[in-house]
A and B are shown apart, each in its own frame.
Chain A
Amino acid sequence: MVTAQVVTRDFSDRVREAENPQSLLVRFGPDQPLKLNAGVDLSPFQIAYQTYGTLNARRSNAVLICHALTGDQHVANVHPVTGKSGWWETMVGPGRPIDTDRYFVICPNVLGACVGTTGPSSIDPKTGRPWGLDFPVITIRDMVAAQAMLLDHLGIDSLFSIAGGSMGGMQVLQWAASYPDRVFSALPIAAATRHSAQNIAFHEVGRQAVMADPEWRHGRYLIEGTNPQRGLAVARMGAHITYLSDAALHRKFGRKFQDRSTPTFSFDADFEVESYLRHQGSAFVERFDANSYLYLTRAMDYFDLAADYGGALANAFKGTPTRFCVISFTSDWLFPTSESRAIVHALNASGARVSFAEIITDKGHDAFLLDEPELFAIMRGFLDSAGKARGL
């Protein structure tokens, strides 16, 4: 039985992964600063990334995977901290829709995250201590600019494809807008071109939960040797509900009791759904940094692609040569189909080649990570056809 207390754990694995990850690593020195949206330069900084498959001689088969808010670069391998299989192993691998026998797959940890790429838990070279809240606020555009530097480093001028769900989908759209000539095809899944008021509101609740934890110490917990795990766990529990749907929760848990047949008339986790959420919360804090959660949710909040292009979304994609496949899920209320439809309207208005499919499922926003045969068939078909056009 999972209780309300979160047991203090050894977080040394996580701290190690933040600085010296078990991933490929590229360091950008003082000669290659990253110019951030916030108007400051980030330098030096590093990007941790995983690759799968082989880059062909023409360097034309690279696929960039952009991970979501709480994802990381371990798409299709065992996670070094949790020991769990990769978060998109059903999608990426030999013979999978994103076929590593055909494509060279790259997945970087995003800027601001905590699995090897520079973020608030990294060491600030000026002070020799973790950045904490002194880390500059970053945006989706900054994440993408950093990824573009990674591709330059790898000698890849043009991506065959770029795919991602949720915050990953935001990066896909930003990529297509910022570097249209480097993106042959793009798959924004369960995404939006701007974060809605409701989503900003949910994120604010999560951030307040982190900041209300006395262990957070104004973001200096790594320096002071504390850990705001309760706050972060609550943030995760709240967010996790938004990734599911009423129907899915009902199907999975209903009103079933956890290991008991009658209520205890206490605040124990009587219900299965409570126990499940507590587990989600406590598992999350093992692998995620509280400040990273603040910075990444903020980056999503600030995302508004149309605003960067004079308020007209179609301008962001004007004359784009990229082939798009936009996918949404019927029960996703966090990034509902209407958001995907707005992307499609803008792409149509700019004359882009676009496919759009809405998949029927009760699994909510998280459906893009789950076993959805129709999603696999659509992505495989889209990539096969794009591959033909690319001469792969």
Chain B
Amino acid sequence: MLLRRHHDLTMAEAARGPGGARVDLVLVAAMVEQGSRVLDVGCGDGELLRLLGETRDVDGRGIELSREGVNECVAKGLAVIQGDADTDLADYPNDAFDYVILSQTLQATRQPRAVLEHMLRIGRHAVVSFPNFAHWRIRLQILFRGQMPRTDNLPYAWYESPNIHFCTIKDFRLLCDVVGARMEKAVALNPWGKPLRLTAPWWIWNVFGEQAVFLLSRKG
């Protein structure tokens, strides 16, 4: 499993905000309160952690699977450890963080449900962003080509893809119900990294959102 989200997001990467940061990361960062404690699961080269440190003054930690990513992060002075979302989240105590972030990584985990449950246990909030497998381009590819879809965002052939658990926005909402998560905020982005209209109904998001970002908390 590769937790590098950067290769999966070439289009969104082109869409950068004023500070030069990726729009989806800016969106995730905006969901995080100033000065909070954050764990970024699958933190890649640490761009989000850096952004959170600079703009939100957070105490940030990261887990990353690839050694290159980890070593790059540590050399930048970020508190990142080499580890696997599927196995290592179990070692963290309850309520250790204000936010646990899983950015563009859920689809690459072996047990997305267990990972999400751990996130909600370790953090008061969970922030999850993921590619929407019900986007119209993906639907058309399956419908007309009859093959597993390949897009700019998801460029891998099925036999070498690290992404083993795709889901749709609708699927993810159902998983939130299953694990008892409360949806505090949700945003869907179009292929250019722009948020869809908040007033749009869920089915519109499910068809036109290329990726989604959810802010969750534990129920009760």
Q: Which residues of A contact B (CB under 8 A)?
A: 323, 325-326, 344-345, 348-349, 351, 353-360, 374, 377-378, 380-382, 384-386, 388
Closest to B60 in A: A353
Of the residues A348, A353, A358, A380, contact of B75 by C-beta under 8 Å: A380
* B71 CB-CB contact with A under 8 Å: yes
Please tell me if the beta carbons of A349 and B74 are within 8 angstroms of each other in the complex: no
Please give, as numbers and ranges, the residues of chain A lying within 8 Å of B167 by CB-CB distance. none
Known contacts A358-B67, A360-B67; is-contact A378 B75 (Cβ 8 Å): yes
* B77 CB-CB contact with A under 8 Å: yes
User: For this complex, into which size category does the number of interface residues on chain B fall?
Assistant: 20 to 34
Other 13 A-B pairs with CB < 8 A, given A345-B91, A357-B67: A323-B79, A325-B74, A326-B81, A351-B93, A355-B73, A356-B70, A356-B81, A357-B70, A357-B82, A358-B82, A359-B71, A378-B74, A381-B75
Please tell me if the beta carbons of A355 and B80 are within 8 angstroms of each other in the complex: yes
Please tell me if the beta carbons of A349 and B81 are within 8 angstroms of each other in the complex: no
Q: Which 8 A-B pairs have the closest CB atoms?
A: A385-B77, A381-B75, A356-B81, A377-B75, A355-B74, A345-B91, A357-B74, A378-B74
Please give, as numbers and ranges, the residues of chain B lying within 8 Å of A384 by CB-CB distance. 77
B100, chain A: closest CB distance, angstroms = 13
Please give, as numbers and ranges, the residues of chain A lying within 8 Å of B70 by CB-CB distance. 356-358
Please tell me if the beta carbons of B61 and A353 are within 8 angstroms of each other in the complex: yes
Closest to B71 in A: A357
Please tell me if the beta carbons of B81 and A382 are within 8 angstroms of each other in the complex: no
Instruction: Give CA–CA (A277, B82) in the complex, Å.
Output: 35
Closest to A376 in B: B75
Instruction: Give CA–CA (A108, B70) in the complex, Å.
Output: 32
Instruction: Give CA–CA (A345, B78) in the complex, Å.
Output: 18
* B59 CB-CB contact with A under 8 Å: yes
Please give, as numbers and ranges, the residues of chain B lying within 8 Å of A326 by CB-CB distance. 81
A111, chain B: closest CB distance, angstroms = 32
B 65-96 binary contact with A (CB < 8 Å = 1; else 0): 00100110111111111110000000111001
Please give, as numbers and ranges, the residues of chain A lying within 8 Å of B75 by CB-CB distance. 377-378, 380-382
Interface centre among B67, B74, B92 (most CB of A within 10 A): B74
Please tell me if the beta carbons of B71 and A354 are within 8 angstroms of each other in the complex: no
Please give, as numbers and ranges, the residues of chain A lying within 8 Å of B67 by CB-CB distance. 357-360
